[in-house]
Amino acid sequence: MIAEIIMNSSVRNLDKTFDYSIPFDMEDKIHIGSRVLVKFGNIKELKEGFVVNIKDKSDFEVKDISKVEEKDFIDEAKVNLAKWMSKRYFCNVSECIKLMLPPGTGTNNLENRAKEKTARFIRLAKSIDEIEFDIESKKIKSDKHIRALRMLDKISEIPSKEFEEIADVSSAVLKTLEKNGYIEFYENAVERNPFLHKVVASTNNLKLTDEQQSAFTAVENALDDMMNSEFLLFGVTGSGKTEVYLQLIEKVLEMGKTSVMLVPEISLTPQTVDRFIARFGQEKIAVLHSKLSVGERYDQWYKIKNGEAKIVIGARSAMFAPINDLGIIIIDEEHDSSYKSETTPRYNVKDVARYLAKEYSVPIVFGSATPDMDTYYKAQNGDIELLELTKRANEASLPDINIVDMRRELANGNRSSISMRLFEYIKQNLKDKKQTILFLNRRGYSTFVMCRNCGYVAKCKHCNIALTYHSKENRLRCHYCGYEEIPFKSCPECDSGSIKYSGSGTQKLEEEVNKMFPEASTIRMDVDTVTKKNSHEDIINRFKDENIDILIGTQMVVKGHHFPNVTLVGVIFADGSLNIDDYRAHERTFQILTQVAGRAGREKEKGNVFIQTYNPDNLAIEFSKQQDYKRFYDTEIKIRKALKYPPFCDIILIGFSSENEKNVIESAKQMYMCLKDKIISEKLPIILYKPVPAPIDRIKNKYRWRLIVKCKFDDKINDAIYECLKDLESKNIRDVKTIIDVNPSNMM
């Protein structure tokens, strides 16, 4: 038999199969998805590859496979998914396969791979009857020995260290018992369990409201009929979406199948996971996300593979977990940009979910208060069934939202970051012992350092981007590459000493707040304060448990947290996301503002939200005041249609980067010409734009150019772009990295 093998490599030229013959003694160990070691070219050491097909004979003279990995492989269905992804996302099959392997095992280097953790276990080496006989006949005399042996009889498997503790015996005692032939030591796997010692009070199903019930029933019917249908559960924050998910998962459990629930990475907090543990117990749950150690993730992966875990909760990569009886896919906060990968493979997990849902004939539930324009458009067209929850489940009312025109504040002589009205409300909130969240999506102290005399702006040496001033470390810092320098006292260009620091970040806001409200306790949450393993959690917990008055933070504060005592939310500068160079600027702004507003008044007390802006008439801001997604959607969709943006077409970004500017431009031009020829000769319905520098045209010393293609992305266009990519490679323009991103979530 012959195996077709793809090498574990991201070199584009190696994205093809190589034939190897399967030695007789490996025949039942090798199947599609196996990891094997082979001799490759003239390379001395063996190289790893993945078996992607098995056939009877080869047209070539072939070498034998040298070795096969008996663990850590994937199945044929996953190989097929990898092949599909590789074509659609323009990357190597092996790069996609790596997403599907046990965490920590993707590397070619066997030494560095995650593996099972083992420990020394003990068990009885004789039957308990024989032991009792020896006790009777005084062959065993010591009370300690007797107690230990009788206790061990009652426990089936235990690491010896653990036994020493609970039986209160020394390792010397165990050694003696081993020497006398009563017990034996052996190596066994131990699970690294991230939930160990976790105690969560269990909860029962709540009685669903009418709206929840009809949403539940719609999906339940699809489950019963094994329909591969899609649903959008559209409901404001607090409308009880999670309760619907919980009850659907219960239903899937009853069917004996496994549920996948995706949540944005940042909201994968212990609180989120706890709600699931509280309902289902931790034995059935596996969690996959980047905050777990590699070892923990490895064990969680095997917990799924072995069929122990029936509920998989995780960030986007959890979609690749080794599930063999998939029952439902739930994607919560489906509009979140973390569902799109920004590194190779640049996949959108919703596409992958759709592929798998079809394969297994299971439903997908997308949930959001502010659905992605594309998802809602599909719901309008009937491709997705719309399920609405219009009210908050616990009777809490939605907050009052006030727009504050900051131009007027300036005119009235208020130069601080906080408007007069917000100031008054914070004061009152402090008196009432209620909590406040202030949201500002810019970190650091000043985001802009400029010479008043000549207009010189401090920019990164390696990136074409302004440096941000960080006051605590007294450094100017690049948020793209981490470059730092000491702030200058006089302008490097004109020597003037008049340097202006403008654009407040969270550091400066915290300082201002501390000056304005010296009596208030504050805590800050942004990339600079969230550094250690758990400190995102720590900050959230401290804010909640210590009843800290004011939480100041970036986007991190907006996702999914439930703070019962927060009644006031201030958005300090709503315009940040409006000014980005992206067709989704309005959508992002509306989403963020709605989410932040959703943090206020989630219990009995009514919440207040202040949105401070220099563009009070902007659509996204106006509609977020009314919390009216549908009106926002109706307006925005018209703009998208007129300008031919998604969902009316796909955007394919072809990016080129290199330290060599000439080669970057040359590559972009070659690609452009190739595509242009194809459009003409194959009559492709594509709008192709001329190559231009990217909005940030240099990052980490690499020049960046790009091409944009607008089209309905289909197989024909997929092939055409692939051919041009191959054509470009054959030109051998050196040191240029080419990436192709289908509907990128970041246009910079």
Residues near Zn ion, by CB under 5 A: 451, 453-454, 456, 460, 462-463, 478, 480-481, 483, 491, 493-494, 496
Stretch that binds ligand ADP, among 32-40, 241-249, 398-406, 577-585 (CB under 6 A): 241-249
Residue 381 CB partners (closer than 8 Å, separation 6+): none
Q: Is 103 helix (H, G, I), strand (E, B) or coil?
A: coil
Residue 239 touches which of Zn ion, ligand ADP, none (Cβ within 5-8 Å per kind): ligand ADP
Residue 235 touches which of ligand ADP, Zn ion, none (Cβ within 5-8 Å per kind): ligand ADP
Nearer of residues 227 and 278 to ligand ADP, judged by Cβ: 278
**Whole-number Å distance between alpha carbons of 301 and 312:** 10
**# of chain residues touching ligand ADP (CB under 6 A):** 15
Residue 206 touches which of Zn ion, ligand ADP, none (Cβ within 5-8 Å per kind): ligand ADP
Nearer of residues 215 and 699 to ligand ADP, judged by Cβ: 215
Count Cα atoms within 13 angstroms, Cβ side, for 183. Answer: 29
Using CA atoms of 665, 670, 671, 675 in order, give the dihedral in degrees to the nearest 10. Answer: 140
Burial class (CB in 10 A: 0-12, 13-18, 19+), 381: exposed
Nearer of residues 209 and 228 to ligand ADP, judged by Cβ: 209
Question: At closest approach, how far in Å is the CB of 550 from ligand ADP?
Answer: 24
**Whole-number Å distance between alpha carbons of 682 and 679:** 6
Evaluate whether 611 touches 621 at the Cβ level (below 8 Å): yes
Nearer of residues 102 and 235 to ligand ADP, judged by Cβ: 235
Which listed residue (104, 235, 264, 647) binds ligand ADP by CB under 6 A? 235
Is residue 241 a contact residue for ligand ADP (CB under 6 A)? yes
By CB under 6 A, the residues from 156 to 215 that bind ligand ADP are 206-209, 212
| In 321-454, beta strands by DSSP E | 326-331, 364-368, 385-389, 400-405, 435-439, 446-451
Nearer of residues 355 and 480 to Zn ion, judged by Cβ: 480
End-to-end CA distance of the chain: 49
Which listed residue (8, 160, 229, 237) binds ligand ADP by CB under 6 A? 237
Question: At closest approach, how far in Å is the CB of 467 from Zn ion?
Answer: 8
Residue 393 touches which of ligand ADP, Zn ion, none (Cβ within 5-8 Å per kind): ligand ADP
Question: At closest approach, how far in Å is the CB of 59 from ligand ADP?
Answer: 57
By CB under 6 A, the residues from 206 to 225 that bind ligand ADP are 206-209, 212
Nearer of residues 261 and 728 to ligand ADP, judged by Cβ: 261
Stretch that binds ligand ADP, among 215-223, 238-246, 438-446, 550-558 (CB under 6 A): 238-246
Evaluate whether 51 touches 34 at the Cβ level (below 8 Å): yes
Contact pattern from residue 375 through residue 414 relative to ligand ADP, giving x for each residue in contact according to CB under 6 A and a dash for the rest: ------------------xx--------------------
Is residue 242 a contact residue for ligand ADP (CB under 6 A)? yes
Q: Please provide the DSSP assignment of 622-676 as one string.
A: HHHHHT-HHHHHHHHHHHHHHHT-TTSSEEEEEEEEES-HHHHHHHHHHHHHHHH
| In 475-614, beta strands by DSSP E | 475-477, 484-485, 499-504, 522-525, 550-553, 566-571, 608-613
Is residue 333 a contact residue for ligand ADP (CB under 6 A)? no
The one-character DSSP state at 206 is P
User: Two tokens at 495?
Assistant: 């020597």
- 625-637 CB burial, b ≥16 within 10 A, e <16: bebebeebbeebb
Which spans of this chain sit near ligand ADP (rule: CB under 6 A)? 206-209, 212, 235, 237-243, 393-394
